[in-house]
Each structure stands twice: as C-alpha cells, then as structure tokens.
C-alpha cells in the first residue's frame, strides 16, 4: 500500500487507533497496579502528519503494514529496575498480548557513544469489536530521567528549526551521562528503602494518610504511625490489595469516620486528651477497619504489642468490637 | 445492637443520696439541664457507647409497680419535658435504693442512635482518687503537692455504674423494651433493685434458653474443626466453662480464655450466626443442658467411642489427647476396673458409630 492509500485509510480509521491507545493505557495502569508500582502512562494515536513524515523518512515499501506504531503508549517509571519489572509483568500478564521480543535500547552497542535508552514492546490492543482487525501498538517503557532526555533531545536534535552546531549537539548527548547518573542514584536510594522502618506497610500507610487527610484536613504524625503499625506486625495486612480494601471500607463508612474525627480528632476540643490520641492519626482508619474485619485477632495483637489499651478502647467505641 | 452511632442531645444530672431506713434521704435535684460542651458530650458518648455494647435486653414487667416504664413512654412517645421526668426518676431511684447502696449521680440523657431516638438512665457512683501538681514549697523547693478527691465519676476504669437504654422503636403498645448493663455485678441477681424495683423490667430472654444456645453453638463449632486435638481441648474447655462456679457465660470471654487466637473471630461469627449474644453476658442456667454435661463422648472414625467424665480429660485427669498430622493419640493412664460386652456397635453409612 502506498503512502497516500495508507494515509487515507488511516484517517478514516483513526478513531479505532485512538480507542486502542486508550484501552492500552488502561491495561498498562492495571499491570502496574498488579505489581504495586506507580507509573505515568501517556497514550495516543499517531498524528497524520507524523505518519507521512515517518513513511518518507524510513522509506517503507508497504506504508500500512510496516507502520507498527499507529497507536502507542509511553510508560514512565521511577528507576531502571522498575523498567525491567514492568516489562516482565507485561509479558507475564494476561491483560495484554505481546508480539515478539522487547527491543532493549539500553544495550551498549558502541561504548564510545551515548544515546537514547529505554525498552520498547509491541502489544495487541484489546479488541473493541469482534470484526475489528487486531491493532498493534508500540509501548515505550522508560525511567523519568530517560524520558526527560528523550523529550528534550527530540526537540533539539531531531526536530530543530535550525541544525545545532556540532559542539551543541555534543552537549545534548553529554546529558545522557547525567541521565545515567540520575538513574543510578535513584536505584541506590531505592535499594535502601526496604531497610527503613515502616517499609513493609508503606502502601497501607500511604493509603491511610491520603484518606485521613481528606477526612480530617490535617496531617498525622508519621513517626507515631510507623511505631504503632510496626508494633502490630502481621495484624496489619501488607499485601498489595489491602490499600484498595481499606479505601473501599473508608468510602462505605465515611459518615461514621467523619463523626469520629470531628468529635475527637485534630480540630476537636478533645484532641489533646491522651485517650483520643489515635483520632488524630491516619492509622485510625486501619485500626477501625481491622476491628471490624477480625476484632478478636486484632485485639489480641494489640495487647501482645503492648500498645496503650485505652487508645484501642476509645477507637473501638466506633465499632462493635469488644476490646475490654 | 450496634452503639457506634449513639449521640447525646440533652442531659439532666441529679444526686442520689445515701440513706438509711431510720433516716431516709431525698435526692438533690437539678433545676436545669446540664450544659454540654463538645468536650463533655464527646467524653459522655464515648463512655456510653463502650458501656452499652455489653447491655442485655430487658422488657417491662406488666405487674410492676414502678412508674419508670410509663415515664419512659412519656418521654419517648409524648415528648414530655426531660428535666421534669428526670427529677421524677431521681425521686423514684432514691426511694428504691437500698440503705446500704452508696450515693451517686443519676444521669438522664436524651439520645439518638442513627435515625432512632432514645433515653439513657445511668447511675454512676462517686469514686475516690488523687491528683498531683508541682508547686514551690515554703523553702522555695519544687515538690509535688497531692490532693485527695472524693467526687470523681465516670473514670475510665470505673465499674461502679448501671446504665439502661430505651429506644423509641422498642416502645410498643404493650411493652417498653430496652437494655441494661451493670458491670459491678454478675449473674442473675444483679442489681435487682435497679432492674426490677426501679426500672420495673426483667430480662427479655430466659437464661436457661440462652445457656442451651451457648452450649449448643459452642459444641457445634468445636465439632466442625478439623484438628482432633483442638476438638478435644476445646470440648474439655467448654465442659469446664459450663460446670465452673462462674455465674455468667460470655462468648468473647470464652474465646479469649480457651481458644487459640486464630480461631476466635471464626468462633464469634459462628455464635452470632446462632443468635447467641456476643458482647453481653448470659446468666448461666444449666436446667436444659445438665444431662449433656455428665459424660463427655468422643467418637473416632473407625467406631471406637470414648465416654469419660469431663474432669478426667486433660493434664489433670487420666485421659490425655495429642495430635500428629491429623491423627489423634489418646493416652489413658488408669487401672482397668472391669470389662463387659455391650453388644455390637452399629456403624452408619459414613462409618461413624451410630449413637441412637
């Protein structure tokens, strides 16, 4: 198919590629959720002008079949190891079908040059209608630093109004070194996180803090939260699904929680009372949810942890649990 | 019934005096409602919610001479004035209180529980305590001064109170129903003067039926467990609980005292599904279960039946259970007194000994 035919077909079917890009974005975000990492996903269908330019640039003999990135997505993760874990998760997941092998642009081909890195995958978008031809999309997985360099270099090196002098082109490529150092530092610091107190329940605490902030309009003391949750050990679930469960429970009990925080929380007349300490803390939500889900096991864990029983008794008045 | 939505709207407090037969006293009555700050309201709600979780259902006795059910009906149905009714309630409590009963405060509160309205009647006795404050003494040195206090009440560890709650939805044409708690007492005879003489009520559910429900529910739960060792251990605990000198049975109390931590929530849920009250205590009455408590029977998969007095089981008796990979090992350390034939053992389709 020549470029004019391909472009005409693309323009008439462009909305299918837009839908495919959106569907891919949704599935990629779900894959990230499955492995408990936070990603930013941008997805879109190809601009017709870019389509024509790319055919001309690459000299495709079949301008329809060889254009494999009519729809595409870019997934931005925090550090280099998350690139690998995300790509691996996409390959293993049943959410998307991967075509071929990933193209790893991080491989050092020429040790004397610096260039773009990232991992590219080809996936098939979930079918919107049975009759529709499968739509293949390109997924680029990058770190935040790789993405920053890629965006800037694209503007300066590949799409300049004027061609940069050689020393300035060199300066842009030199930024790749900074990008690699940036990623190395992110990886080094990230590797320390698992050794810090509270790491094992960070997702849970993060969910509780954001929900608490919305209810109380006040921050709680994280160091106290870490102390309380750390003491409770396995009585606080640490699996990746628990934050979702906690958020659902908070949504279902918002009225009750608002009353508790309004009466005893950070802006109440009782906020300085020792007995009501937990009403100014994000872990209040976790404790009440646990007192509802498994009151005896949680009360037993609380007592074994040696935490103040008065704190639990005060919170338990907003549950049916008997903690006496 | 869940108490987590309980809110206090208005409050009247009166002082009930200690009196003797020879020198009857009158209550010291308030002339206005007590002003409730957010702080006091929050604290009072906290104490009432915690306390009322364990309250037991009561119902007015149609033969009672107490005017309280009628006064409650007036408050909840006719919108009678809280202060006026509460003063009348204080006079009634003062007259029904035995001479040896200590003085205390009568709290009468208009409350809401979700969309329902209600009234709380609580007698809280005074407690003694002390407070300290750092001061400078006459020599100019910092010391802690100690002050003895006799007029504390509603302290967090207090057990000297009686609380009743009556809800509008539980007042019918024929009856006034509510719930009452008295943590200081136990068993059937608790605070008779408060529940029967003053409130004019009695427990709604017969204790012998609740005792049977408790025993049956616990026995079925234990029977559903996979581990023979656990079944034996818990069964011994159940027998021991039923035959102990305790006046009350408590689902959560039993689970905490006798069950492994990871079985407690399942046990409580099972008992709740059998309508056995979880938080309130059950006055123990063995009338309907006495025959089931004389012998404990253990059935084995291949037809062996072990019958033993409950106190023979466990480390203090002559029959001990152990478990390894789901297989039970029973050790009987005793002298054989006699051996006799008892006919053939019938097995049912599952190979279980037929007990009929």
B11: number of Cβ within 10 Å: 21
**Model pLDDT, residue B165:** 97
**Model pLDDT, residue A82:** 92
Cβ of residue B96 closer than 8 Å to a chain A Cβ: no
Beta bridge partners of A103: A120
Among candidates A300, A310, A314 on the partner chain, residue whose Cβ is nearest the Cβ of B261: A300
| pLDDT values of chain B reduced to their tens digit, one per residue, 356 residues | 889 999 999 999 999 998 777 777 899 999 999 999 999 999 999 999 998 988 888 999 888 889 999 999 999 999 999 999 999 999 999 998 876 777 899 999 999 999 999 999 999 988 888 999 999 999 999 999 999 988 888 887 777 789 999 999 999 988 999 999 887 765 444 478 888 999 999 888 888 888 999 999 999 999 898 887 788 888 888 888 888 878 889 999 999 999 998 899 999 999 999 888 887 788 888 888 887 777 777 777 777 777 787 677 777 778 887 767 767 788 888 888 877 776 555 555 555 555 44
- Residue by residue, DSSP assigns B225-270 as -S-HHHHHHHHHHHHHHHHSS-SEE-HHHHHHHHS-HHHHHHHHHH
Please write the tens of the pLDDT for every residue from A175-214. 988 998 999 999 999 888 888 877 778 889 989 999 999 9
Contacts of A269 in chain B (CB under 8 A): 37-39, 42
Beta bridge partners of B143: B135
Q: Which of the four pLDDT bands, split at 50, 70 and 90, describes residue A33?
A: confident
Entry pTM: 0.65
Residue in A closest to B251 by C-alpha: A322
**Model pLDDT, residue B347:** 54
Span A213-227, mean pLDDT? 92
How many whole angstroms from its chain centre is CA B305? 37
Residue in A closest to B259 by C-alpha: A296
Beta bridge partners of B26: none
The distance of B197 to chain A (nearest Cα, Å) reads 29
B223: number of Cβ within 10 Å: 11
Question: What b/e sequence results for B112-128 when a residue is b if at least 16 CB atoms lie within 10 Å of its CB, and e otherwise?
Answer: ebeeebbbbbbbbbbbe
Structure tokens at A152: 């800037």
Please write the tens of the pLDDT for every residue from A38-61. 899 999 998 888 888 888 888 888
The distance of A256 to chain B (nearest Cα, Å) reads 7
Contacts of B51 in chain A (CB under 8 A): none
Query: Would you give the DSSP letter of residue B75?
Result: H
First-to-last CA distance in chain A?
78
**Model pLDDT, residue B189:** 43
What is the radius of gyration, based on Cα positions, of chain A? 26
Span A104-131, mean pLDDT? 77
d(CA B220, CA B238): 11
Question: What b/e sequence results for A182-193 when a residue is b if at least 16 CB atoms lie within 10 Å of its CB, and e otherwise?
Answer: bbeebeeeeeee
Beta bridge partners of A136: A124
The distance of B41 to chain A (nearest Cα, Å) reads 9
**Model pLDDT, residue B190:** 47
Burial of residue B62 (CB within 10 Å: 0-12, 13-18, 19+) is exposed
Burial of residue A14 (CB within 10 Å: 0-12, 13-18, 19+) is middle
Please write the tens of the pLDDT for every residue from A232-291. 999 999 888 899 999 999 999 999 999 999 999 999 999 999 999 999 999 999 999 999
ipTM of this predicted structure: 0.71
Cβ of residue A269 closer than 8 Å to a chain B Cβ: yes
Cβ of residue B73 closer than 8 Å to a chain A Cβ: no
d(CA A41, CA A26): 9
Q: Which long-range contacts (CB under 8 A, 24 or more apart) does A59-64 make?
A: A60/A3, A62/A1, A62/A6, A63/A1, A63/A2, A63/A3, A63/A5, A63/A6, A63/A7, A64/A1, A64/A5, A64/A6, A64/A9, A64/A10
Structure tokens at A64: 């329809």
Q: Which residues contact A6 (CB under 8 A, 6 or more apart)?
A: A51, A55, A62, A63, A64, A67
> Cβ A316–B50 below 8 Å, yes or no?
yes
Please write the tens of the pLDDT for every residue from A152-173. 888 888 765 678 888 988 898 8
- Residue by residue, DSSP assigns B138-160 as TTS-EEEEEEEEEEE-S-TT---
Contacts of B46 in chain A (CB under 8 A): 264, 275, 314, 317
């Amino acid at each position: 198919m020549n470029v004019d035919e391909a472009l005409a077909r693309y323009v008439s079917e462009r909305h299918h590629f837009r839908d495919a890009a959106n569907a891919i974005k949704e599935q990629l975000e779900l894959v990230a959720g499955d492995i408990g990492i936070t990603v930013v996903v941008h997805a879109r269908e190809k601009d017709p002008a870019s389509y024509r330019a790319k055919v001309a640039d690459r000299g495709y003999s079949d301008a329809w079949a060889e254009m494999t990135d009519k729809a595409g997505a870019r997934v931005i993760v925090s550090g280099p190891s998350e690139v690998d874990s995300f790509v691996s998760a996409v390959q293993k997941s049943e959410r998307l079908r991967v075509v071929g092998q990933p193209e790893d642009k991080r491989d050092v081909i020429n040790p004397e040059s610096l260039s773009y890195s990232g991992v590219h995958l080809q996936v098939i978008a979930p079918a919107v209608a049975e009759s529709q031809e499968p739509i293949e999309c390109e997924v680029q997985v990058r770190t935040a630093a790789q993405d920053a360099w890629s965006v800037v270099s694209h503007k300066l090196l590949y799409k300049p109004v004027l061609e940069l002098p050689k020393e300035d082109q060199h300066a842009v490529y030199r930024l790749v070194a900074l990008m690699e150092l940036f990623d190395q530092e992110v990886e080094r610091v990230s590797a320390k996180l698992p050794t810090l107190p509270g790491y094992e329940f960070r997702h849970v605490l993060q969910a509780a803090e954001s929900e608490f902030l919305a209810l109380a309009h006040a921050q709680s003391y994280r160091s106290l939260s870490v102390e309380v949750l750390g003491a409770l050990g396995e009585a606080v679930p640490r699996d990746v699904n628990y934050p979702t469960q906690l958020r659902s429970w908070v949504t279902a009990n918002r009225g009750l929680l608002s009353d508790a925080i309004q009466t005893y929380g950070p802006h109440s007349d009782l906020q300085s009372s020792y007995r009501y300490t937990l009403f100014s803390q994000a872990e209040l939500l976790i404790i009440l949810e646990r007192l509802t889900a498994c009151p005896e096991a949680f009360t037993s864990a609380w007592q074994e942890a040696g935490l103040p029983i008065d704190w639990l008794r005060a919170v338990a008045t907003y549950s049916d649990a008997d903690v006496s | 019934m869940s108490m987590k939505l309980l809110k206090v709207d208005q409050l009247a407090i009166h002082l009930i005096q200690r009196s003797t037969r020879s020198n009857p006293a009158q209550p010291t009555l308030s002339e206005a409602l007590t002003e409730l700050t957010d702080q006091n309201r929050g604290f009072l709600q906290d104490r009432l919610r915690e306390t009322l979780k364990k309250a037991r259902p009561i119902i007015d006795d149609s033969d009672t001479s107490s005017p309280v059910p009628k006064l409650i009906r007036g408050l909840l149905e006719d919108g009678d004035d809280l202060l006026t009714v509460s003063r009348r309630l204080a006079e009634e409590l003062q007259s029904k209180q035995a001479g040896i009963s200590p003085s205390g405060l009568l709290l009468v509160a208009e409350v809401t529980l979700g969309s329902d309205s209600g009234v709380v009647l609580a007698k809280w006795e005074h407690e003694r305590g002390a407070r300290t404050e750092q001061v400078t003494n006459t020599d100019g040195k910092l010391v802690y001064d100690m002050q003895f206090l006799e007029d504390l009440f509603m302290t967090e560890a207090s057990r000297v109170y009686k609380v009743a709650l009556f809800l509008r939805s539980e007042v019918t044409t024929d009856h006034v129903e509510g719930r009452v708690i008295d943590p200081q007492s136990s068993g059937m005879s608790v605070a008779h003067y408060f529940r029967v003489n003053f409130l004019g009520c009695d427990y709604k559910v017969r204790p012998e039926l609740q005792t049977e429900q408790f025993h049956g529910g616990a026995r079925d739960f234990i029977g559903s467990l996979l581990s023979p060792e656990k079944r034996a251990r818990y069964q011994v605990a159940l027998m021991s609980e039923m035959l102990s000198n305790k006046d009350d049975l408590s689902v959560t109390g039993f689970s905490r005292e006798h069950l492994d931590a990871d079985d407690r929530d399942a046990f409580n849920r099972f008992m709740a599904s059998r309508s056995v009250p979880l938080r309130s205590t059950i006055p123990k009455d063995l009338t309907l279960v006495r025959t089931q408590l004389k012998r404990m029977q253990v059935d084995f998969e291949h037809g062996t039946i072990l019958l033993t007095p409950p106190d023979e089981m466990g480390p203090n008796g002559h029959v001990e259970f152990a478990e390894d990979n789901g297989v039970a090992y029973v050790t009987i350390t005793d002298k054989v007194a006699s051996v006799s034939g008892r006919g053939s053992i019938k097995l049912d389709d599952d190979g279980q000994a037929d007990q009929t």
